[in-house]
Amino acid sequence: MGDTGGDIIIKGGSVHVAFDGALYQKVSSDPTIHKHDDRKIVRVKVEDENGLSRFDTALNEDGLLWTITISTQ
């Protein structure tokens, strides 16, 4: 995944969301949404702050449909 440029990385702490803005374009009706109609999520992996894997869907070439909710304080 990392060498394709298509990764979306969400980090805790100070809350950091990183993605390729050239690949995931802003939606004109809502500039807080970025999307790419021809790409799909094929894997979701969650690691803790020490890099220990906590959850991994493994590769799913058919794609996955996910809603990710991030809670902060």
How do residues 18-48 score in pLDDT, each as one tens digit? Answer: 778 888 888 889 888 888 888 888 888 888 8
pLDDT of residue 4: 53
Q: Which domain holds residue 37?
A: 1-73
Where are any strands of DSSP class E within the chain?
A: 9-11, 16-18, 25-27, 30-35, 45-47, 53-56
pTM of the model: 0.57
Total domains in the chain come to: 1
More confident residue, 62 or 72: 62
- Residue 43 to residue 57: CA distance in whole angstroms: 6
pLDDT of residue 50 exceeding 70: yes
